[in-house]
Homo-oligomer: A and B are copies of this chain.
Amino acid sequence: MPDMSVLILGGDGYLGWPTAMYFSRRGRAVTVVDNYFRRNASIELDSESLIPTANLLQRAKRWEETTGKRINVFIGDIVQYEFLLSVVHESRPDTIIHYAEQPSAPYSMLNREKAAFTIRNNLISTLNIIYAVKEAAPGSHIVKLGTMGEYGTPDIDIEEGWLEIEYKGRKGKFLFPREASSLYHTTKIQDTDLLWFYVRTWGLRVTDLMQGPVYGISTDEADIHDDLKPNFHYDEIFGTVLNRFIVQAIAGYPLTVYGKGGQKRGYINLKDTLQCVYLSSINPPDCGELRIFNQVTEVFSVNDLAGKVQHVGKELGYDVHIHNIENPRKEKEDHYYNPKYTGLAELGLAPHYLTDEVLTGMFNVIKPYQHRINRDAIFRGVKW
């Protein structure tokens, strides 16, 4: 499908930029859009990427120099509908990948302004995409990043998006109950509400990828040149837990386990995120379908992760300590957790599991940037 056009919203991000290269390398016409929210917010909050990243135009230029393939770049805010509409008109996408959300739970809990920003940004961007598809790209496939955090930690098995029940002798099929543990995660539930309404009403085709925390820094395309690496955050606001722990191990900063550390989540390697998004895009759902996949490959507790990082760190000669600190969040620290995640495997996902080799690889990529670690950014205790 060499003519297929993909529009990646949030294309400057940790997932967005590697996704752009992944699709470009596979012959897609790729357009990326970003408003540099994360770049600006991470400057404001003194929590910049460990790996310095060139701006999106520079990255696209380097990509073209290196591979001969062009990635179109638009800088702007898709909360501005006319801007988004003009991009959709110009790029004529078959697939729209929606990463353009404020993605941090602690950011959304900092104060009222950040909470209101998160609601407005995440919901109005999703609404605008829905309207732009209806107006300028009918039939195109919206791939939206949800999060496993929407489900929370229920006492029953977590199905892939839907729950079929029998109740008082009658049957019903509903969205799987959602109960998140941050305002950010709650906006993702609200996004689902929005998309599900317009799928039913206007016959949109949508894939919702309920992703767990992502780790990793290496992808086949990012490894081509240092300038093509994704951003890499290790701070409390924008860093995901495993990425943070590896930086902490290298910095000699005790691994900060919140509370008892029994919090279980499903995790996924950055490389597998790319596979999942790509597999979804080449196998679109029907019009009028909201298809939901749980985008994880393994389940770990925080203690599991800390133990693995400590183990590999020690092998590599680091003196790694684990420190259980008072949990600044409201969450269960010991709970049932049994999510299903077979849908993407059925589409062909070949997982990269969290092996000692993968962890060693991450230590090795990060080590040269050790001098850039800002210890003050690692933990500041944003309270829920």
Residues of A within 8 A of B (CB): 81, 112, 115-116, 119-120, 123-124, 127-128, 131, 154-157, 163, 165, 167-168, 170-172, 174-175, 177-183, 186, 189-190, 193-194, 196-197, 200-201, 330, 336, 384
Contacts and interface: CB of A to CB of B under 8 A. Distances in A.
A163 B167 contact: yes
A30 to B, nearest CB: 26
A347 B125 CA distance: 42
Contacts of A116: 81, 124, 127-128
A170 B156 contact: yes
Contact of A330 (B154, B165, B182, B201): B201
Contact of A157 (B128, B167, B384): B167
A190 B195 CA distance: 12
Contacts of A170: 155-157, 336
Nearest to A171: B155
Number of copies: 2
A57 B200 CA distance: 44
B201 A197 contact: no
Contacts of A200: 179, 330
A163 B174 CA distance: 12
B197 A183 contact: yes
Given A157-B168, A167-B157, A172-B155, A193 B186 contact: yes
Given A123-B123, A156-B172, A177 B177 contact: yes
Contacts of A123: 119, 123, 190
A162 to B, nearest CB: 10
A156 to B, nearest CB: 4
A81 B112 contact: yes
Contacts of A165: 156, 165, 167
Contact of A174 (B128, B154, B168, B172): B154
Given A174-B177, A200-B330, 8 more contacts: A81-B116, A112-B127, A154-B172, A170-B336, A179-B196, A179-B200, A182-B197, A190-B190
Contacts of A384: 201
B179 A186 contact: no
A39 B196 CA distance: 32
Contacts of A197: 180-183, 186
Contacts of A201: 181, 330, 384
Nearest to A330: B201
A255 to B, nearest CB: 25
Nearest to A113: B81
A66 B77 CA distance: 54
A340 to B, nearest CB: 11
A175 B172 contact: no
A201 B182 CA distance: 9
